[in-house]
Amino acid sequence: MLQEISLASSFILPGSSLSVNRMGYGAMQLAGRDGNKLVWGPPRDVDGAITLLREVVASGVNHIDTSDFYGPHVTNQLIRRALFPYPDDLVIVTKVGTRRGEDGSWIPAFSPDELTGAIHDNLRNLGLDVLDVVNLRSMFSVHQPAEGSIEAPLTALAELQQKGLIRHIGLSNVTPTQIAEARRIVPIVCVQNHYNLAHRADDALIADLAHDGIAYVPFFPLGGFTPLQSGTLSEAASRLGATPMQVALAWLLQRSPNILVIPGTSSLQHLRENLKAAALQIPAEVHDDLETVSRPDAASHPTRQL
């Protein structure tokens, strides 16, 4: 079932000249860890991280997701060290709206000063004069979208866009109401929310965004820090001669044409495995089985996101 790598089809971000392959890469896992502080400090193997980033781009991936609060600063500095000067077609998507506490916590950072500082941190650490896409990461709740107006921070971001520091704006961890509010203020090119085979709260939202040509970029596409585990997924993988992670990614790519995937890994072997998912076709009967993974009654084949 695995064919030669295609990196899936491409997608043009709406109202832009930015075209990306639908198989991208999420850079968060490249930062290190310090005890309970996740995504903190440098990786144990800096050279390995640089090699991995170069292979990401050499493989044809032209969409890298990052933030200056990964590390903090570390991930962007690795990207710059590995890839600068950047290939013309590389689209680096970053995000603002959070800063890191000394204890590794994720603290809302929505004031105009904090947003301006975050944009300049991203520009400096990536070595850019302008950022292709910046997502405003909502923080009314750290772990899932929660209602609340994002008008003030988005207006501040739109002003930075008008100053020429940002080309396009996206949103992260948001509700449909917040997306509608945002679109009255500024064009939105992408939405990045938690979504995967087992976590499907955004099924309807994905269809609505597809209708308007807006990209949906699931974060934790493989389940995040504790990757997906499901008997149904494993069975599907063995039927297809693939790995469970490849099936999880191929399922996302088949789920809707506006889905762009950004699986994260610090492992070269996992990167190579994940990229091959772009060429994996899931037949209808296997697809039907996979539909059961998110159902609470899938007791015989539990899915765990620990």
The reply on whether position 63 binds ligand NAP by CB under 6 A is no
Report the residue number whose CB is nearest to ligand NAP.
264
Q: Is 70 labeled as catalytic in the residue annotation?
A: yes
Considering beta carbons, is residue 262 or 286 the nearer one to ligand NAP?
262
Considering beta carbons, is residue 269 or 300 the nearer one to ligand NAP?
269
The reply on whether position 266 binds ligand NAP by CB under 6 A is yes
Q: Quick check: 119 and 153 in contact, CB under 8 A?
A: no
The closest alpha carbon to 251, from 223, 270, 272, 212, belongs to 223
Of 25, 70, 86, 195, catalytic: 70
Q: Residue 16 burial by CB count (10 A; 0-12/13-18/19+): exposed, middle or buried? A: middle
Residue 61 CB coordination number (10 Å): 22
Using DSSP's 3-state secondary structure scheme, residue 48 falls into helix
Residue with structure tokens 């597809």? 210
The reply on whether position 219 binds ligand NAP by CB under 6 A is yes
Alpha-carbon distance of 72 to 31, in angstroms, equals 8
Q: Which x/- pattern over 169-188 shows residues binding ligand NAP (rule: CB under 6 A)?
A: ---xx---------------
Alpha-carbon distance of 119 to 124, in angstroms, equals 9
The reply on whether position 27 binds ligand NAP by CB under 6 A is yes
Alpha-carbon distance of 122 to 132, in angstroms, equals 11
Q: Which of 7, 8, 22, 29 binds ligand NAP (CB under 6 A)?
A: 29
Going by their DSSP bridges, the two strands 98-100 and 106-108 should be labelled as antiparallel
Q: Residue 126 burial by CB count (10 A; 0-12/13-18/19+): exposed, middle or buried? A: buried
What's the min distance (Å) between Cβ of 224 and ligand NAP? 4
The reply on whether position 22 binds ligand NAP by CB under 6 A is no
The closest alpha carbon to 28, from 62, 78, 97, belongs to 78
Q: Stretches 149-157, 176-184, 204-212, 222-230: which one binds ligand NAP (CB under 6 A)?
A: 222-230
Q: Which of 79, 262, 286, 293 binds ligand NAP (CB under 6 A)?
A: 262
What's the min distance (Å) between Cβ of 218 and ligand NAP? 8
Considering beta carbons, is residue 162 or 226 the nearer one to ligand NAP?
226
Residues belonging to the active site: 70
Q: Which residues bind ligand NAP (CB under 6 A)?
A: 26-29, 65, 95, 137, 172-173, 192, 219-225, 227, 245, 262-267, 270, 273-274
